């Protein structure tokens, strides 16, 4: 059992992205894509979360018994650089310890489709993480989904707000599925097991 995470407490899994159809297939929105798939797996539909500026799904993952976990899936609706406020409001409302928060986000410094899971650390210039860390501290889990670096002289801001390329989209469903598996493994079996299985 991962000692950093109270096993009996709920987990808050936050997919980071920007709201609105114009952003839906952007590289920056891969966190939303993973959250949507996890919601589908637990048979839930996202709905507005009271006063918090977010959409949520509540459910359980894992086999029946002690490994079963209560999970709140969330998509902040505040735009990426203001994600911390909605996440903090949800954390307070559901009484989730920071160590039971998982941020799923795009990562420039990792090859496309590769995953890295970790607990704590810096934000590496990612505005969603920067906002979450400012609101709650840095000691939450991250599932980092590689999108690679921009080609040529393309600006980072332009790259992350562009849709995945047609070549990337051929493998996107597989990589999103694998990232959802990694989130489930992290929540059910702990960080160490999830890292050894999914870090690539």
Active site residues: 28
From the list 93, 156, 86, the residue with the least C-alpha distance to 128 is 86
Other Cβ atoms closer than 10 A to 62? 16
Residue 104, helix vs strand vs coil: strand
Within its chain, how far is the Cα of 30 from the centroid? Answer: 8
From the list 66, 64, 96, the residue with the least C-alpha distance to 74 is 96
């Amino acid at each position: 059992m991962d000692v950093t995470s109270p096993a009996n407490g709920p987990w808050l899994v936050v997919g980071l992205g920007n709201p609105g159809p114009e952003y839906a297939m952007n590289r920056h929105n891969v966190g939303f894509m993973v959250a949507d798939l996890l919601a589908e797996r637990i048979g839930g539909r996202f709905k507005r979360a009271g006063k918090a500026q977010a959409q949520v799904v509540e459910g359980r993952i894992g086999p029946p018994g002690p490994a079963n976990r209560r999970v709140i899936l969330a998509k902040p609706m505040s735009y990426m650089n203001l994600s911390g406020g909605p996440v903090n409001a949800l954390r307070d409302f559901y009484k989730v310890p920071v160590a039971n928060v998982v941020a799923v986000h795009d990562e420039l410094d990792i090859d496309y489709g590769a995953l890295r899971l970790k607990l704590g650390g810096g934000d590496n210039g990612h505005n969603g993480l920067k906002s979450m860390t400012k609101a709650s501290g840095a000691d939450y889990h991250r599932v980092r989904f590689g999108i690679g670096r921009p080609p040529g002289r393309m600006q980072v801001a332009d790259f992350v707000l562009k849709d995945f390329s047609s070549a990337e989209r051929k493998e996107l469903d597989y990589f999103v599925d694998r990232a959802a598996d990694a989130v489930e493994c992290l929540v059910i079996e702990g960080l160490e097991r999830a890292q050894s299985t999914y870090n690539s």
